[in-house]
Structure 1
Amino acid sequence: MNTAGSLTYVYAVTYRTGPLGDSLAGLHGIGRAPLRFLSPTADTTDPAPGTSEAALAFVAGDVPEEDFNEAALKNHFEDLRWLEHVARTHHDVVQAIAARAPVLPLRMATVYQDDHRAGQALSAQRALFTQRLDQLRAHTEYGVKIYLTHDATEPPPVAPAPPASPGKAYLQARRAQRHSRDAVYRQAERAAGTIEAIASRHATQRVRHAPQRGELTGPQENVLNDAYLIPDDQAEQFQAAIADAAGGFPDLRIEVTGPWAPYSFAMPAPGPDDAPEPSP
């Protein structure tokens, strides 16, 4: 039940269980608000008791309407400090659920006017959410990133040109720089192929994200940023194989991140003829 002046903020979809409910009692959401389960709103298509659909639930909490109404969110999305706080809290809640049960993370700042409307949204997409949760059961997301190291991308020093031919010496040095960078990029292409071959033996799904830029990468250049859905019983073999392969690419930094809740796989990617998936 909402408190006065609040909206319902939904973090994730999961299955309602006693142990998870006990864990939620010790967790807090944005603004230290307590968390609760929300069930689908009752309708004529309610599933039979005891089925997985019957246990489906949102994990939700209250947030101040003055901070999360449409106008306020437009302003807050330009406030990096506010965004970082909300994103971190949202992530912490989702990860805590993922450690205990299958979970579908929802987008940050998924809000409804009240619990009843949130329950209606859950009911409308109950079959889709249930199917996806069952597909993700006993799977975890891992990321693999390839970076060109700073030394590999830093151009070699240009030697002083002989007094008689400064133009020729300069052009030779620039050509050497290009050849050096080309060799590193070819190494990155080979590394990407190796990672894809390893993933084909372990991953059930892959999502290719855009390479990161700016402050997220520092002086290194990110050239691959993939997410893989890995069965839990193969996670150690996958990570070990990537670590072993990384030793064969001295001019690259290959990083495995995770385990993560399946942010990249919460909804299946639409095919070329599919309509966009509904969202809460």
Structure 2
Amino acid sequence: MTAQGGLRYVYAVCRPFAAALQTQLSGVAGVPPGLLRHHGLVAVVSTVPEGDFAEEPLRDHLEDLDWLAATARAHQGVIDALTTVTTPLPLRLATVFRDDSGVRTMMEAREADFLHTLDRLEGRVEWGVKLYADPPEQPPPPAGRPATGREYLRQRRTDTRAHEENRRAAEEFARTLHERLSGRAEACRLHPPQNATLSGVPGQNLLNAAYLVSRADSEEFVELVDRTKDEAPAMRVELTGPWAAYSFTEPVTEPTTEPTTEPVTGPPAPVRAGEQR
């Protein structure tokens, strides 16, 4: 497979697999993905226009949020399809090479790392769990002003104490939930809490974690998460997945400025559709 009039976009590396990908699957730039075999590995690739993915136009496109979102969705669609038939090792969004030779050179150089990571992730998927504390309901304002300054200070102390107790209870629930889920997972990663202003999701994000779980144990893991959803008032548990194990994959390519036999890499592996880190 050779890039005719375009660059080689690489979605993921995996071991050879027999199952067919979805017949209607299209990737980045609307091009269906193909397979490029090298020794005991397979790169999942498609051809993308150089006018969009060479260094300079790619840099401009990465400032275009609509273009970036569409590319990330197409990239993720291929990764999701791969996850149903094999264990993929996703590469960064917008990893491109000049031609197939460049892809093979990369696979050759990182073959031992790829095989080691694929062995570690084989038969496992990632589940994401977020815990939010919903904003407390505001009590109705008092009928009149406090009779004295002392009464005002007493009311303030009462409100502050209640707020602190609620905060401690929420943090304890988050800690306990993480411990319980970690006990059912093979590995876990804690991501920084989301900023509600940036994410647009209401409530305080107390837990933003990823859990590596075997496919065989995933049903039990999901049931455990479901059982926690009504355990604490004013708490909201959100489960996403199963995903390819993004959070448990070390970076496999380094940024460079020349799209020859080296990759041109954009941002880290994309945020999955419907998710924000």
Same fold (TM over 0.5): yes
Change (3 A) 1:64 1:169: farther
Rounded to whole Å, the distance in 2 between the matches of 1:179 and 1:107 is 47
Question: 1:2: how far off?
Answer: 0.4
State whether structure 2 residue 31 is matched by structure 1 residue 30: no
Question: 1:200: how far off?
Answer: 3.4
Rounded to whole Å, the distance in 2 between the matches of 1:73 and 1:174 is 55
Counting matched residue pairs gives: 253
1:36-60 residue CA offsets vs partner (Å, 9 max, x unmatched): 11233xxxxxxxxxxxxx3311101
Q: Is the 8 A contact 1:187 1:249 kept in 2?
A: no
In the alignment, which residue of structure 1 is the partner of 2:171? 189
- Choose the corresponding residue for 2:231, options 223, 241, 248: 248
Change (3 A) 1:113 1:24: farther
State whether structure 2 residue 201 is matched by structure 1 residue 218: yes
Question: 1:164: how far off?
Answer: 4.8
- Choose the corresponding residue for 2:127, options 142, 160, 163: 142
Change (3 A) 1:217 1:185: farther
Gaps of 5+ in 1: 41-53, 268-275
The percent identity for this pair of structures is 36
Query: Match of 1:32, as an amino acid?
Result: G
Query: Match of 1:185, as an amino acid?
Result: R
In the alignment, which residue of structure 2 is the partner of 1:263? 246
SS at match of 2:21: helix
Change (3 A) 1:155 1:77: farther
SS at match of 1:62: strand
Q: Is the 8 A contact 2:127 2:241 kept in 1?
A: yes
Gaps of 5+ in 2: 255-262, 264-277
Q: Is the 8 A contact 2:91 2:252 kept in 1?
A: no
Question: 1:89: how far off?
Answer: 0.6
Query: Match of 2:185, as an amino acid?
Result: A
Rounded to whole Å, the distance in 2 between the matches of 1:145 and 1:187 is 17
Larger helix proportion of the pair: 1
Question: 1:171: how far off?
Answer: 4.4
**Taking structure 2 as the reference length, what is the TM-score of the superposition?**
0.83
Rounded to whole Å, the distance in 2 between the matches of 1:96 and 1:57 is 15
